[in-house]
Structure 1
Amino acid sequence: MSLKILDTCVNCDVCEPACPNKAISLGEEYYVIDPSLCTECIGHYDEPQCVDVCPVECIIIDPAHTETHDQLELKYRHLMALGGDAPASAVDASTKDDA
C-alpha cells in the first residue's frame, strides 16, 4: 500500500528528505505522497522512513492505493531500473529474479 499524509501535517519538513524514492512533496496546504513512487521504503529500509520521522504521526496507509508486499517490491525494482538510488546489488538481484 502507498502511504498518505493527513491534513494534520504541520509542514515540519522532516519527511520529504527522508523518502528514498522522492515520493513526498509540498502540496497546496501540506505535504503529499505520490502513490506511484511510494514503496513504503521496501528495498531501502525495513520500515517507512517518513512514518518514523513524523513528529505528529500524520502518515498512514492509504486505503485508496492498496498494494501487496510483492507489488511494492516490483514497483521498487521498476523505479530502480529507471535510475533510482538503489544499491547496485539490489538491482542485480532483481534482474536475476526476473530471468
Structure 2
Amino acid sequence: MAIIITDECINCGACEPECPNTAIYEGGVEWNYAAGTSLTEIQMEDGTAIDAKDPMEAVSNEFYYIVPNKCTECTGFHEEPQCAAVCPVDCCVDDPDNVETTEELQAKKAWLHGE
C-alpha cells in the first residue's frame, strides 16, 4: 500500500529528500512522473499518452503530499518507508485507499526506473 501524509504534517520537509522515487512534494507544488524516474511517456487509464514531464496538479495545497502512483514504500531500496522513518510527528502512514502487495510494489519500482 502506498503511504500518505496526514493533515498533522508540520511541513518540516524531512520526508521529501528521503524518497527514492521523488514521490513527495511540498504542498501546492506541481509534480510530474519524470522527476526521479526513467519514465518518458505515460499511458493514462483512458488510453491517452502524456509526456512524463507534463506538470500534474498538486495533490494538496496545504501540506506535503505523496503521489500514490510513484510511491513504492521504498520497496527495493530500503527495508521500510523512509518518509515514515524520518517524520518527527508520525504523519506518514499507510494509505488504506491504495493497498498493494509486495509484488505490485516491486513491479511499480521496475516501471518507474526502467528495470
**What TM-score, normalized to structure 1?**
0.81
Letter in 2 for 1:6: T
Which deviations, in whole Å up to 9, do the C-alpha atoms of 1:10-39 show, x marking residues without a partner? 000100001010000012110000000000
- How far apart are the structure 1 equivalents of 2:76 and 2:70? 13
Other-structure match for 2:5: 5
Other-structure match for 1:30: 63
Larger RCO (alpha carbons 8 Å, 6+ apart): 2
The two structures, once aligned, show a CA RMSD in angstroms of 0.7
Structure 2: 5+ residue stretches without partners: 28-60
Other-structure match for 2:96: 63
Structure (1/2) with the larger helix percentage: 1
Q: What SS does structure 1 have at the residue aligned with 2:110?
A: helix
- How far apart are the structure 2 equivalents of 1:31 and 1:38? 14
Alignment identity in percent? 49
Is the counterpart of residue 18 in structure 1 residue 18 in structure 2? yes
Question: Where in structure 1 do 4 or more consecutive aligned residues deviate above 6 Å?
Answer: none
Structure 1: 5+ residue stretches without partners: 82-90, 92-99
Letter in 2 for 1:47: E
How many pairs align? Answer: 82
- How far apart are the structure 1 equivalents of 2:3 and 2:81? 9
Q: What SS does structure 1 have at the residue aligned with 2:93?
A: strand
